[in-house]
Amino acid sequence: MEFVILIYGDESIPGPTPGTPEFQEFMGTWMGYNAALKESGHFVSGAGLQPTATATTLRRTFGVPEPTITDGPFAETKEQLGGFYMITAENLDEALDWARKLPVPAGSIEVRPVGVSA
Amino acid sequence: MTTPGVADALDVAAREEAGRVLALLARRHGDLDLAEEAVQEALLAAWRTWPRDGVPANPAGWLLVAARRAAVDRLRHEASQQRRSTGAAADPTVASGDAARVDRGELWETVADAPDDRLLDSGTAIPDERLRLVLLCCHPALDRDAQVALTLRLVLGLTTTEIAAGFLVPEATLAQRLVRAKKKIRLAGIPLSVPADLSERLDAVLTVVYLVFTEGHFSAAGGGLVRVDLAAEALRLAAVVDGLVPNRPEVLGLRALLTFHHARRDTRVDGDGGLVLLDAQDRARWHTGEIAAGNALLDRAMRGAPPSRYVLLAVIAALHANATSPAATDWVTICRAYETLARLDPSPVIRLNHAVALAMRDGPDAGLAALEQVRGLERYHGLHVARGQLLLRAGEAAAARAELARARDLAVNESQRRYLTHLLTASTDSGSAGSAT
């Protein structure tokens, strides 16, 4: 079986500053986790995302052919996460074109750039 | 002291040529921040040197040379800092991002990379790459406020102070909005590109133009503050867009619409800052030359395709602007235009205006009946103004006063409130008042 592990957190709480010993230690724990996951053969792919300020959301409504595109992350509490794709694209427009092509009849699709790959 | 010729040239440099140079450099380097800072430095250099040395033969070419140099200096500086911290180095003069993927030899690129003396020559035209810039500023992944602020800043060259004053927001708020928007462009990878199907993206651009215009047009009465003329800036932006994508009916229609509205600017507000509605405006003070220009734009917009939303709005504005008196207005054609418009855009505000036009054609009872069908505007003062005025015309003074009082409670600015207070007093005195719209 394959599983997805989704990480939620409060992005307004700042992490340690790059260049400080705290940052080294913090990154060390992540690299250790990644290495353990890879060595044990469990790793498929993973990444840290850019903050939600970089997100763009497409919203689809039943019966409406074109989605609406808005600035900002997915925020509808009565919808639940149903899947994800990780794609490579030249720019946001290309990524949005693929998001637009998803055969989802209704719902929200958040597009966010990847920051650091695991 | 700056002589008038130099002052004008500096103004054109900041408002027109800066946007062109910025678009060119942003495309050349694939970096909006870099381009903006470089253009800013070039403008500062112009302000410093033109009053002393005179206006250069090719001001746009001069700005491009100065901005290009500033961009390369900045890249070199950043590269040397990076070298100090990592030991690695990249050639800072090599273009990155979008520009690097474009085939060599396009006109914009040839000019962006031309030698200084060629750019300074008065015969060298600087290509206009602003369509990409306008589409970037109005990208749907940015929120509407950010689109407006970015467009005014980067395309029209307004300062942060001017934009903040125009929209009555604190300058720090506006500056923060611009910083966030540019950060999103950079991190989310919003490209400087022109999509194959332009209409949807162009629609967002026209919405921004319209928003800027209405902000200027409808707030002109408020406050007594010195504000940048946003209505005039919106007209300038519409003209720029029309130049970038010529002969598009929706663009011509919007230009015509704004031109007609703007031609009435001197009569919309009385000496005390009170609102003057269309039927009471002094038509002799409308700018007839501008109305003629609006007619010419509308003629071109009406050729070919069935009229779109802005074209229909322009048709209605034209029938008002060209009528010699309220009574001489062609309400039959106006009603027909509203019917078509309501099919394209079934919004309640369109239905409200349609009802008012019906009242002018068929009498107040027809208008009141149509207003009964309008939903979702209970908290919009305009609905209650319209209903109050129609009730006055129908002779129902008490019901009219209740509607006008409700409208006054919901009014958003002082000139509307003053107008409604005046109308309420008049209706108490005589039991009648003028017609609607």
pLDDT tens-place string over residues B245-273: 999 999 999 999 999 999 999 898 887 77
CATH number of B330-437: 1.25.40.10
Domain ranges for chain B, please list them.
4-128, 134-323, 330-437
CB contact under 8 A, B142 and A50: no
Residue whose C-alpha is closest to residue B171's, from A101, B139, B35, B179:
B179
Statement: residue B103 has pLDDT above 50: no
Give me the sign of the Cα torsion angle B271, B276, B279, B283: positive
Residue B341's nearest CA partner among B324, B366, B319, B369 is: B319
pLDDT at B332 over 70: yes
Average pLDDT of chain B, as a whole number: 88
Complex ipTM tops 0.90: no
Distance from CA of A37 to the nearest CA of B (A): 28
pLDDT, mean of residues B12-28? 94
Distance of CA B362 to the CA centre of its chain: 35
Residue range B96-112: mean pLDDT, rounded: 61
Flag whether pLDDT at B89 surpasses 80.
no
Residues of A with CB below 8 A from B182's CB? none
Q: Closest residue of A to B190, CA-based? A: A92
Percent of chain B with pLDDT over 90: 68
Minimal CA separation from A111 to chain B, in Å? 9
> Are B191 and A69 in contact (CB < 8 Å)?
no
Query: Closest by alpha carbon to A60, among A97, A102, A106, A104?
Result: A106
B422 vs B158, which has greater pLDDT?
Answer: B158
Which residues lie across from B269 on neighbouring strands? B275
User: Which of B1-15, B325-339, B365-379, B418-432 is predicted least confidently?
Assistant: B418-432
Chain A residue with Cα closest to B185: A54
pLDDT bracket for residue B105 (50, 70, 90): low
Helix (H) and strand (E) counts in chain B: 22, 0
Find all residues with CB under 8 Å of B397, minimum gap 6, and list them.
B391, B427, B431, B432
Write down the pLDDT at residue B44.
97
- With a cut of 80, say whether residue B153 has pLDDT above it: yes
pLDDT score, position B422:
85
Residues in Cβ contact with B322 at an 8 Å cutoff, skipping those fewer than 6 apart: B291, B295
**Residue B161 is encoded by which pair of tokens?**
């102070």
Whole-structure pTM over 0.80, yes or no?
Answer: yes
Map tokens 């010529």 to a residue: B246
Q: What's the confidence (pLDDT) of residue B88?
A: 57
Is residue A11 scored above 50 in pLDDT? yes
Backbone angles phi and psi of A57, in degrees to 5: -120, 130
Residues from B contacting A (CB-CB < 8 Å) are 98, 101, 139-143, 146, 180, 183-184, 187-191, 193, 195, 200
